[in-house]
Structure 1
């Protein structure tokens, strides 16, 4: 698209009807729109719901049984958000049809959120599947519109639309066969994994005809904003646990310490995530965007699970009917996973990752070992140590960054001597 054509499209944004053309990947000052921020807020409800269900499963001693539906429903949430985000980065016209189709997808998120309790408690995924279907209808309509309006993107957009429809038919067939008793319970998870692979394959297949014109810095910002939402959900979950503990026995020193440690842990993770230059990395190595984008499922799921773990840890600071080791691991597992995945996801796109693998892997190993001493030193001490490990990673990463910067500045000077 020429710069003049791009300027004309940008000037028409927000109108009644704008031709949907691929946006300029070098567009200056590209940032998240107010509609994208509103869209993200609907996911707060769904994430809060699955986090609460996971926390309840941990408290009731059914953490392992609850983890599977948590990961399954979270995939639906993450994948729907990711599909909208990358499409919007390429084709956001902000006209009336675009806004209405976005609202339709937002409605699907709310329906999905309403179906979460049934999915966890009764293994009934009707509400979740229905909400996902509504979101997919809105997205397919957007891709069809892009295929009609943008000749250069027609084949790619058409493939997206066809691929999404085929996989969605698979989800509906899975639900129908499961409800009818035709699909054995033992086959539900394998079929789910098969459909997940199909979902992840649609972009790979569609983009073979030509890459969509997504904006690297816009994508990096969108992922950063969703990370903040997940960290906020963890704060909310910890606050919920604190409220429950206060209602049960009042304020105590251990309660305050765990709450502060949880906040320090979340703050450290926020600091670490935004140290890596994702935008420039995506711009320099767009062919590795799949590894970065898909890898964020693990990062986002870890943050959501961490919220559940912190909620349980705060409420169990004084008394817990569940083993303190289990509660400690409810914090340690997602914390350790986040640390490792944060480095692994950014390594393919960043030439010189800010976060050093030696530092992050040692920190993750220590984090996963600490809960073994929970019975001996107590839950409060373990949670505090996990928080201090993460804070130490921030400190050492910043120190190494300064040393690297100083060395790069000194190198040219030494060459001139």
Structure 2
């Protein structure tokens, strides 16, 4: 594509022509604006995890998980769309920065409406925030269509697809309750279809494979940081109430082990090469489960701490599973993504499945071993899964080198 090497030619001191960036650009890293943008999503993720924690503590497991899945989709999808566009068309000029500011405002509006979704299934404020973000995104795509002729077809399809689906989200606010979740799922599928339709119908956008992979990794760290922050606050509350008990201490240690081991597991695939559009889309879509599961681990740890202090209405087994289920989902999803990109835990699926099985067994067995013992055991199980994967990878590498000789 002729626009690949154009990058961002200056058109004035405050504005640059928005041309497709070079997908082979060396040393392409996240910009300070992208990192600032991510921080607004910390607020949204925090709100979603906090509300899930409250729902689980009150025993509203089914409704809480449904609301969490819906809200987290809006958060993740808005972030992913911005990231994809920025990878191809980040000019970092004044118009681009101001539209990014508008998207950041939309994220904060969305975050302020999260509680209403959990309490009353009222998506009004969430949709308002979403409209703000998507309107700014449409403006960015239209600008790309005007200033980058080679990518005009894809840019216009993105703008049109986003606009049509956004109208659907607004119309859904007046949908009868009986159709609420059906229409939600239809619109989710429509959202997911827009990138594939826009990219495959003509010249694809000039997204940067290494930049995309780095951005997903950075957001993973942000989500894990939120888990640590929320868990620390819960530990402090428990200690302030009844002192540092053994279960609280074990949950704190086990939670830290979980975060560190999952971080390590994720970044065994940090060298992922998103060489094709299909791989990039599958990698990106799979991160919904990764991010949602990681954030839910924080909510689960807080729920487990509540249960040790006899707060809330969830049983000991329920509190154990509140940690175990998202950990297992994170493990299995990471294994699938690493297999997709031939990195990380690829070739060691049985090890990961065994680790996930042990984690789930500990969740079910929480009444027998205690919540502290269960969570600590989960941390050790994930750590053992990591260690087994690293050793297996080392052995496989030595065999390949031996054959090469």
Aligned equivalent of 1:158: 156
Q: Deviation at 1:371?
A: 2.0
Aligned equivalent of 1:105: 103
- Residue 369 of structure 1 is aligned with which of 358, 361, 367? 361
2:170 and 2:122 map into 1 onto residues whose CA distance is 13
Q: Deviation at 1:237?
A: 1.6
1:269 and 1:302 map into 2 onto residues whose CA distance is 11
| 1:349 aligned onto 2:341 | yes
CA contact (8 A) 1:55 1:308 kept: yes
- Residue 46 of structure 1 is aligned with which of 24, 44, 47? 44
Q: Deviation at 1:197?
A: 0.5
| 1:186 aligned onto 2:184 | no
Q: Deviation at 1:4?
A: 10
Q: Deviation at 1:3?
A: 9.3
Please state whether the residue corresponding to 2:88 is helix, strand or coil: helix
Task: Give the CA RMSD over aligned residues.
Answer: 1.8
Single out whichever of 241-250 and 100-109 deviates more from structure 2. 241-250
Aligned equivalent of 2:307: 316
Q: Deviation at 1:353?
A: 4.8
| 1:330 aligned onto 2:328 | no
| 1:231 aligned onto 2:248 | no
Q: Deviation at 1:404?
A: 1.7
Aligned equivalent of 1:288: 279
Write out aligned runs for 1:73-222 (5 A).
Answer: 73-175=71-173, 177=174, 183-207=175-199, 208-222=201-215
Aligned equivalent of 1:394: 386
Please state whether the residue corresponding to 1:316 is helix, strand or coil: helix
Q: 1:6 to 1:286 in 2, by over 3 A?
A: same
Q: Deviation at 1:165?
A: 0.4
2:395 and 2:383 map into 1 onto residues whose CA distance is 19
Q: Deviation at 1:348?
A: 2.1
Aligned equivalent of 1:23: 21
CA contact (8 A) 1:328 1:379 kept: yes
Instruction: Give TM-score scaled by structure 1 length.
Output: 0.93
Please state whether the residue corresponding to 1:299 is helix, strand or coil: helix
Aligned equivalent of 2:244: 251
Please state whether the residue corresponding to 1:378 is helix, strand or coil: helix
Cα-to-partner distance string for 1:319-344 (whole Å, 9 max, x where unaligned): 34421000000000000000101111
CA contact (8 A) 1:14 1:94 kept: no
Aligned equivalent of 2:6: 6
CA contact (8 A) 1:332 1:386 kept: yes
Cα-to-partner distance string for 1:127-161 (whole Å, 9 max, x where unaligned): 10000000001100000000000111001100000
Cα-to-partner distance string for 1:189-229 (whole Å, 9 max, x where unaligned): 01000000010011111112121111111000000011011
* Structure 2 residues without counterparts, runs of 5 or longer: none
Cα-to-partner distance string for 1:81-119 (whole Å, 9 max, x where unaligned): 000000000000001000000000000000001111111
Q: 1:259 to 1:192 in 2, by over 3 A?
A: same
CA contact (8 A) 1:254 1:318 kept: no
2:281 and 2:316 map into 1 onto residues whose CA distance is 38
Q: 1:71 to 1:13 in 2, by over 3 A?
A: farther
Cα-to-partner distance string for 1:289-345 (whole Å, 9 max, x where unaligned): 211111111111101111100111233334344210000000000000001011112
Q: Deviation at 1:13?
A: 9.6
Q: Deviation at 1:244?
A: 1.9
CA contact (8 A) 2:286 2:333 kept: yes
Please state whether the residue corresponding to 1:257 is helix, strand or coil: helix
1:341 and 1:109 map into 2 onto residues whose CA distance is 26
1:90 and 1:52 map into 2 onto residues whose CA distance is 34
CA contact (8 A) 1:146 1:157 kept: yes
Q: Deviation at 1:276?
A: 1.1
